[in-house]
Amino acid sequence: MDGRTNLFESVNRQFDEAADILNLSQEMRELLKTPYREITVAMPIRMEDGTLRVFKGYRVQHNGVRGPQKGGLRFHPDLVLDDVRALASLNTWKTAVVNIPFGGAKGGIQCDPAKMSLHELEMLTRRYISKLSMVLGPTRDVPSPDLNTNAQTMAWVLDEYGRKNGYQPACVTGKPLELGGSQGREAATGRGVALCAREAWTRLLGHDLAGARVILQGFGNVGSFAAKFLHEMGARVVAVADRDGAVRRAEGLDVPALFVHARTNRGTVAGFPGGEAFDPGTIWAQEGDILIPAALGGVLTQATAPEVRASLIVEGANAPTTPEADRIFWERGITLIPDILANAGGVTVSYFEWVQNLQQLFWDEAEIFEKEEKILMQAFRDVEEKVKRHGCTWRTGALVLALERVKKANELRGW
Ligand code: NAD
């Protein structure tokens, strides 16, 4: 439901809760909420059937006071500018929570990639980058993959940007390894989700991870790697749902086998022989300890939040929880580790990719993983300190931390 229209409003409501704690002035609220730059571009493309279609693309640069703008590029038929604004602002807070030197941006093209050829997608990506190249670049704005875009899309971005500006691999992250991508980037977000789940379940809530029951919505990049690492840490993945089906096993699914099954069956867990199939619509009500939404935005709502039986929620997806559901979880004593902390492993390793590209010196996977863990666990402790000090939710604590950092940078620059 990433295309719903009230996402920007939800993000701003969450912002205001943190701003109230900090007693932020109206002036500072306006400065921090308002995107720095918003661009809409029209891209005429001659389709393979001979027709001319005009696609609409957006790039929102929300805030760049702490470093170059950073954020994904998504292709989606329902994409609207307000969603791009919301996701750009979430990226500002996310990069500030993990304290990496970036701001927050987001971009996208309103298109349905399932109905387009590879050649049409390449033309569209190139036209989009060509129209925006004056506001992109290693020190201005660095895109990365998001919904329906991947390493190949980023390779086209690199090539198109380079036509006007010369070879600059740090202009985009999430590239193929052969073109300067980073080791560990593919697994980075799911790994961060698993690390946050481990930290919250063991140190915060005082339980043993061995045998802890994990439930997941989504078994794509984020969900499958979160499941893989939690399985390796000794947890039991008991239920997984995706767009095409769902599978469960109380004793724990064989995650390595499920990983292979999904990758050889159009990405889905449907039809996995090592468990019982069930209705994916009942995923929230499954019996378990740790719930990981890792698919869509806006899925934990006033309607679904009361169904949840887990005592810990770790947000792999961006904005999966509405403010109404947040309140329900808070009242029910369910701990929720928010997206801007839990799924920040991806942007953290994107930062490593940018650094490696700038210095043209590359690190191996072990070094990347060690650095990722250090940054995420520091951010976890920083947010924990805010939660304890203000007696607030983890989402508000993370936003308080981020707002303080971005506000300080604004003030130092003279605003
Ligand atoms: P993906 O396309 O690899 O996987 C998406 C998964 O969601 C698939 O398993 C798909 O079947 C499932 N899904 C889609 N529609 C569904 C539905 N209606 N019901 C149940 N499941 C459904 O995407 P991803 O990269 O894993 O991203 C997942 C989420 O995490 C998105 O919200 C994305 O914005 C967010 N995120 C991704 C990254 C990253 O590095 N990939 C980083 C931060 C946040």
Atom of ligand 1 at shortest range from CA of 144: 40
Ligand 1 centre from 317 Cα, in Å? 6
pLDDT at 164: 94
Which single residue is written with the structure tokens 């701001």? 103
Q: In 3D, which of 68, 368, 287, 316 has the Cα closest to residue 192?
A: 316
Which residue's alpha carbon is nearest to atom 30 within ligand 1?
Answer: 317
Q: What kind of architecture, by CATH, is found in domain 23-169?
A: 3-Layer(aba) Sandwich (3.40)
CA 414 to centroid of ligand 1, rounded, Å:
39
The predicted pLDDT at position 162 comes to 97
Any idea which residue has 């770790």 for tokens?
314
What's the whole-model pTM score? 0.96
Of 95, 242, 284, the one to substitute when testing ligand 1's pocket (max ligand atoms within 8 A of C-beta) is 242
Report how far ligand 1's centroid is from the alpha carbon of 149 (Å): 12
For atom 28 of ligand 1, the residue with the nearest CA is: 295
Cβ count near 282 (within 10 Å): 13
Q: Which residues line ligand 1 (CB under 6 A)?
A: 146-147, 189, 217-223, 241-243, 280, 294-297, 316-318, 343, 346
Contact partners, residue 261, CB within 8 Å, separation at least 6: 269, 271, 272
Tokens read off for 317: 């997806």
3-class state of residue 330 by DSSP: helix
Active site residues: 106
Distance 329 CA to ligand 1 centre (A): 22
CA distance 14 to 86: 11
CA distance 143 to 382: 27
Domain boundaries along the sequence of the chain: 23-169, 186-342
Pick the CATH number of 186-342 from 3.40.50.300, 3.40.50.720, 3.20.20.140, 3.30.565.10: 3.40.50.720
Asked whether 112 and 142 are in contact (CB, 8 A), the reply is no
Q: For residue 343, give the ligand 1 atom closest to its CA.
A: 43
- Closest by CA to 37, choosing from 18, 19, 62, is 62
Please, how many CA atoms are within 13 Å of residue 101, restricted to the half-sphere of its CB? Answer: 7
- What pLDDT score does 5 carry? 45
Ordered mean pLDDT values, 10 residues apiece, the chain (415 residues): 64 95 95 96 97 98 98 95 95 98 98 96 98 97 94 98 96 97 96 98 97 97 97 98 97 98 96 98 98 95 97 97 96 98 98 98 97 98 98 98 97 92
φ, ψ (nearest 5 deg) of residue 388? -65, -40
